[in-house]
Amino acid sequence: MQNRNPVIAKVLNVLVFLFLYLPIAVLIIFSFNDSKSRTVWSGFSLHWYQELFQDEEILSAFSTTLTVSVLAALIATVLGTAAAIGFHAMKRRPRHLLMTINNIPMTNADIITGVSLMLLFVFTGNMLGFSLGFGTLLVAHITFNIPYVVLAVLPKLRQLNPNLGEAAMDLGATPWQAFWKVLMPELRPGILNGLLIAFTLSIDDFVISYFTAGSEVSTLAMQIYAMTRKRISPEVNALSTILFVVVLTLLLIVNFREMHQTKQAEKRDKALQKDGVKGGTR
């Protein structure tokens, strides 16, 4: 049985990957189909991609998605990094309490978050005189991205030597210079990972956007949903393929960055161990 286990495990892995990625592969293949058929291959063509980029509604949704994703990722990264630094400086009990509060939005269902934010925006809008639109969509994206940035930056803070900042100030640096020139380079990999994760989550979000964007603003994910309700056009396949490739590329960048950082950390640890051994032998 022990000899068969690896074979069974490999077969199960293949089946799982087929179950997860075969539908996406079919979608990508038929996005290049020459005809409108969703089952019969009529030949390779870029016709549906050309149609896609001539559709004003889709171009508007793309512009909105890109703008919201970039702004939300940047603002959430700044706020999330500041929050992570604040959490790290706290004592254990308040830090654990705030980390629990920070993690709740990530474990919460998107539909609950979306409805809650919608009710908050509608209630506040009735008092202050604004309605659901681009602004509420942006605030919603910033809100659900901040916890992910916090989790991306905190591990780097834990790896920092707590004496670095004090040493820099002892050498004449101001607190701002110590933070920007000494601590920030150490935190930069975590901050960039948080930025990429936030951008990926924003560009891919549908549920929260659906409840907080209002009727006059549409994102790519919302546009795909609207197109499938009207008719299942091959343009949907093309748009879904582009969205999948963008998100996949960003995730690969994040993963490769983490692998590179892990290898660099291992090299530094080995170098330090060698230096320690040499120093001990002397």
CA dihedral 272, 273, 278, 282 (to 10 degrees): 100
Which residues, other chains included, contact 253 with Cβ-Cβ below 8 Å and sequence gap of 6+? 196
Query: Which pair of structure tokens corresponds to residue 277?
Result: 């051994």
Residues found in the chain? 282
- Residues 198 and 204: their CA atoms lie apart, in Å, by 10
- Residues 256 and 239: their CA atoms lie apart, in Å, by 26
Quick one: how far is CA 18 from the chain centroid? Answer: 25
Q: Can you spell out the DSSP letters for 100-143?
A: HHHHHHHHS-HHHHHHHHHHHHHHHHHHHT--SSHHHHHHHHHH
Which residues, other chains included, contact 159 with Cβ-Cβ below 8 Å and sequence gap of 6+? 186
> What pLDDT score does 269 carry?
63
- Residues 129 and 135: their CA atoms lie apart, in Å, by 13
pTM of the model: 0.76
- Residues 118 and 124: their CA atoms lie apart, in Å, by 10
Query: Which pair of structure tokens corresponds to residue 51?
Result: 């149609």
Domain 56-256 has CATH 2.30.30.100: no
**Neighbouring C-alpha atoms within 13 Å toward the C-beta of 135:** 8
Q: What is the pLDDT tens value at each position of the chain, 282 positions in all?
A: 455 577 888 888 889 988 888 888 888 888 888 877 767 777 888 888 888 888 888 888 888 999 999 999 999 999 999 999 899 888 888 889 989 998 888 888 899 999 999 999 999 999 998 899 999 999 999 999 999 999 999 988 888 777 777 777 777 777 777 778 778 888 888 898 899 899 989 988 999 999 999 888 999 888 888 877 776 677 778 888 888 888 788 778 877 877 877 777 677 667 656 655 555 555
- Residues 15 and 101: their CA atoms lie apart, in Å, by 38
> What pLDDT score does 34 carry?
80
Terminal Cα-to-Cα distance of the chain (whole angstroms): 54
